[in-house]
Chains A and B, each alone.
Chain A
Amino acid sequence: MSNTPSENRARFGVPEDSMVFARGVRKSFGTLDVLKGVDIDVPKGSVACIIGPSGSGKSTFLRCINHLEKLTGGILLVDGAFVGYDLRKDRLYEVKDNELCQRRAEIGMLFQSFNLFSHMTVMENLIEAPVHVRRVPVEQAKSEALELLARVGLSEKVDSYPRELSGGQQQRVAIARAMAMKPKVLLFDEPTSALDPELVGEVLQVMRDLAETGMTMVVVTHEIGFAREIGDQLIFMDGGVIVEEGNPREMIANPQSPRTKEFLSKVL
């Protein structure tokens, strides 16, 4: 057996506490190079925020982490293991659909457009994957779902359809749905970009609460204030590469690269 965290750690020099580990990640769509060699380390329990202009490859990178996009080159390990492959000697074998699904289930993802299943009620949204992917008994899944809904403050919306909720409420349900799978890490793809300004706060508050419980999070965002307050690490991407990274508060106060300076001056 291979692709075990311990072997990969020794071979690729993955730190012991690494949750997301990327080295030389490249991704092309045809002739378009979206990612041109990205290295990232996200330790367990930390919050990494990725900022950058549109088209800089930050969303694509996020989608590479849970293998929604296949890498063109480089390696990406989650909790020390490949998501879409098994490594034997020098060969990366693509894993079967079922195995990929089981591994993906450990990586939660949130989208800009929420993507709640629109034909299902909030409760059905929350228990769908636990019941059908994890084979959790329905009653247990339901009681866990109720707890999660209470955590995001939406207990009374349990029988509502997504259409009946505001954007902020939909995103909070989506967070609860991701949490229902008890993921190791949560990926946020611009979670507040589609929201009215007055609804952004309630979603950020839920994310803040999650960060406090020690959830590892990778957040692609335009909310610089959130990155400064919650982020352990700030990554500025442009043109498919990381231009600058570091402590959010220092980096925002005193950006080193002129490109970072220019970007921050526009969004702050």
Chain B
Amino acid sequence: MSKVDTSKARPQPSVVEEVDRLVVVPRRNYGIWIGTAFTLVLSYFILRAFAVNPAFGWETAAGYLFHPSIMSGLMTTLVLTVVIMFLAIIIGTIVAVMRVSPSPVLRSFAGAYVWFFRGVPALIQLIFWFNLALLVREFSLTLPFVGEIFSIRTNDFMTPFFSAVVALSLCEAGYMAEIIRAGIKSVPTGQSEAASALGMPYRNILKRIVLPQAMRFVVPPTGNEAINLLKLTSLVTFIAVDDLFYSAQSIYARTFETIPLLIVVAVWYLAVVSIMSVGQHFLERHFGRSETRSQSLTTRFLRNAFGTRAKGAAT
């Protein structure tokens, strides 16, 4: 049949009424109901345990929250995190660029670096650097004919803080190198090819074309790394750096208020992590801006706020 009979295809008034009377009944999902009930009951017990058990010592915890030595410990933790992350990004970028270099020697060296520093537990690296004096007694620079320029005993500069910075930077750089390498690999080869065809030299292509585009893939995992690192710095307690955790420990070692002080430490870590998550969100928005059309207003605003060249400068 070539023609459709339109009078038959159109629904009759009575059919419309029939259709309107239909009601959708949602499917009952009993599993969800049981799960919800169970979770509510569990939450009640957990909250009650926290509220009722006097051993938590909430008042004591609140009293210590802004204790001067806790504050200075928090400061040390933040400084450690920022300094280590900064160094780790620089070392990690260098190692990552080595890993994608045309030279097999550079590639293998970078590969070995990542293998070693990611493979050995951070705590062991930390204690190793702290005890460097057992391996090397002093560092000295001696030139032929001129004689000794300077000499320094390892113990004099390998302070706990310095050991912590060296150990954790090198360790974290191993992780950062892998993140940045993945970012570099994620930039389509056509981008560097087009740059080559325009006559841009290799280091310029890396600096101006590949790395800025890699940032978009690098920022989210780097945020996670920074959050992990913040918590990882609590390991420096083992070599007596007076960070947040160490300060709390030295208080409860005297007063035996162990649980309240652990709560203080947990509260501060949670607070900093929350702030960092918000910061990470904005960084992601900033580096993802050429990806999305809908954000063009935000884009323009950020471009004006950070200057047109801000994106290349962020490594």
Type the 1/0 row for B188-229, where 1 means its CB is closer than 8 Å to any CB of A: 101101111111111010001100110010000000000000
Q: Among the listed A97, A107, A119, A162, which residue makes an inter-chain contact with B201, where contact means beta carbons less than 8 Å apart?
A: A97
Type the 1/0 row for A168-193, where 1 means its CB is closer than 8 Å to any CB of B: 00000010011001000000000000
B291 sits at the interface (CB 8 A): yes
Interface residues of B in 69-100 (CB under 8 A from A): none
Check if A132 sits within 8 Å of B204, measured CB to CB. yes
**A131–B148 Cα gap in the complex (Å)?**
47
Give B300's nearest chain A residue, CB to CB: A159
B290 sits at the interface (CB 8 A): yes
Closest Cβ–Cβ distance, residue B170 to chain A (whole Å)? 30
Interface residues of B in 155-194 (CB under 8 A from A): 188, 190-191, 193-194
Which residues of the partner chain A approach B212 to less than 8 Å between Cβ atoms? Answer: 119
Check if A118 sits within 8 Å of B191, measured CB to CB. yes
Which residues of the partner chain A approach B292 to less than 8 Å between Cβ atoms? Answer: 163
Give B199's nearest chain A residue, CB to CB: A105
B311 sits at the interface (CB 8 A): yes
Check if A119 sits within 8 Å of B200, measured CB to CB. no
Which residues of the partner chain B approach A256 to less than 8 Å between Cβ atoms? Answer: none
**B contact face: mostly helix, strand, loop, or mixed:** helix
**A76–B39 Cα gap in the complex (Å)?**
74
**Which of B197, B200, B209: most chain A Cβ within 10 A?**
B197
A105-B198, A132-B208 known; A115+B193 contact, CB < 8 A:
yes
Closest Cβ–Cβ distance, residue B108 to chain A (whole Å)? 22
Q: Among the listed B197, B293, B308, which residue makes an inter-chain contact with A107, where contact means beta carbons less than 8 Å apart?
A: B197
**Which of B188, B194, B202: most chain A Cβ within 10 A?**
B194
Type the 1/0 row for A127-147, where 1 means its CB is closer than 8 Å to any CB of B: 011001100000000000000
A118-B213, A132-B208, A164-B293 known; A68+B193 contact, CB < 8 A:
yes
Which residues of the partner chain A approach B199 to less than 8 Å between Cβ atoms? Answer: 101-106, 129, 133, 181
A104-B196, A163-B293 known; A113+B202 contact, CB < 8 A:
no
Check if B194 sits within 8 Å of A161, measured CB to CB. no
Check if A113 sits within 8 Å of B198, measured CB to CB. no
**A117–B69 Cα gap in the complex (Å)?**
51
**A72–B200 Cα gap in the complex (Å)?**
24
Which residues of the partner chain B approach A103 to less than 8 Å between Cβ atoms? Answer: 199
A111-B194, A119-B212, A119-B311 known; A129+B200 contact, CB < 8 A:
yes
**A118–B287 Cα gap in the complex (Å)?**
12
Closest Cβ–Cβ distance, residue A206 to chain B (whole Å)? 18
Check if B213 sits within 8 Å of A119, measured CB to CB. yes
Q: Which bracket fits the contact residues of B?
A: 20 to 34
A42 sits at the interface (CB 8 A): no
Check if B293 sits within 8 Å of A117, measured CB to CB. no
Which residues of the partner chain A approach B193 to less than 8 Å between Cβ atoms? Answer: 68, 111, 115
Closest Cβ–Cβ distance, residue A195 to chain B (whole Å)? 16
Type the 1/0 row for A93-128, where 1 means its CB is closer than 8 Å to any CB of B: 000011001111111110101011111100010001
Which residues of the partner chain B approach A133 to less than 8 Å between Cβ atoms? Answer: 198-201, 204
Which residues of the partner chain A approach B291 to less than 8 Å between Cβ atoms? Answer: 163
Closest Cβ–Cβ distance, residue B196 to chain A (whole Å)? 6
Which residues of the partner chain B approach A129 to less than 8 Å between Cβ atoms? Answer: 195, 198-200
Which residues of the partner chain A approach B209 to less than 8 Å between Cβ atoms? Answer: 117
Closest Cβ–Cβ distance, residue B210 to chain A (whole Å)? 10
A118-B290, A164-B293 known; A101+B200 contact, CB < 8 A:
yes
Check if B201 sits within 8 Å of A98, measured CB to CB. yes
Which residues of the partner chain B approach A128 to less than 8 Å between Cβ atoms? Answer: 198, 200, 208
Which residues of the partner chain B approach A106 to less than 8 Å between Cβ atoms? Answer: 199
Check if B197 sits within 8 Å of A104, measured CB to CB. yes
Interface residues of B in 281-298 (CB under 8 A from A): 290-293, 296
Q: Among the listed A98, A115, A163, which residue makes an inter-chain contact with B194, where contact means beta carbons less than 8 Å apart?
A: A115
- Can you list 27 residue pairs at the A/B interface with Cβ under 8 Å? A66-B197, A68-B196, A98-B201, A102-B199, A104-B197, A104-B199, A107-B197, A109-B194, A109-B197, A111-B193, A115-B194, A117-B195, A118-B191, A118-B213, A119-B311, A124-B308, A128-B200, A129-B198, A129-B199, A129-B200, A132-B200, A132-B204, A133-B200, A133-B204, A163-B290, A178-B197, A181-B199
Name A's B-contacting residues (CB within 8 A): 66, 68, 97-98, 101-109, 111, 113, 115-120, 124, 128-129, 132-133, 161-164, 174, 177-178, 181
